[in-house]
Structure 1
Amino acid sequence: MLAHNVESRVIKASVESVWATLKTQDFGFWTLVKSTESAFSSAEVGSTRTVTFTDGAVQVYRLVEFSELNNSLTYEVIESEPAMKVLSATHRIRAFPVSADNTTFVQWTSEFASEGASETVQDSKYKKLEALADLAKALEN
């Protein structure tokens, strides 16, 4: 069974600024992230990064898609401590320019494979909403 969650927000900053922040995949704008480590270029498909959260959780992400043209990236969680309650988790972040006012529409989609993933979907929803609020706070003037 596949479950998914989509959250979005308009950021009062240009798509260039938003994408420059997102494409590094260091999640430095997100207050729940303590640190991110990677030995590879942020744009190298197949590269991994270890994300340590402020609550002590550690996840390893593998980049599966990266597009400068479409301002999007997709990553999957390949390790998690503590273990996730789903079989797999894939996340896509995209940034779209809003031409009317030079803002950016950011969409963060997650897909989870598992039976009974509702708790994980709800947790993902609130964490993404917080991350998008943190992104807005970091970039808006």
Structure 2
Amino acid sequence: MLVRDAMSTVVLTIGPAHTLRQAARLMAARHVGAAVVLDPDTSGLGILTERDILNSLGTGQSPDEEAAHAHTTTDVVFAAPSWTLDEAARAMTHGGFRHLIVMDRGEPIGIVSVRDIIRCWAPARRPTPTLVG
């Protein structure tokens, strides 16, 4: 199975000046765990994840004052839609992260997460049989 088969095509894009609260609200509304941060001044892409927001809150920072750019990972590993899920899982394991931005022709077309990969690899849930004794 390939990354294109597992990825979410909902790509939330925010700017570097968004506050963490704004980012969290947008992520929650779209049911995603990461946002692509597009900085028009540098033409670069970064990623802000739920973990980044949690780490900021955990250190007592204000989600209304902290800007996304201060918590964005800019040294991003990108996936191609043609990667296998094994390749994506290896990249995540090697880098210690849970999301990959999927790029095609220089544009973000999706995000694949550990959860997406597990969903594809895990067998479908079946009801547990009831024992009658």
Question: TM-score higher than 0.5 here?
Answer: no
- Which structure has the higher relative contact order (CA within 8 Å, separation 6+)? 1
More strand by share: 1
More helix by share: 2
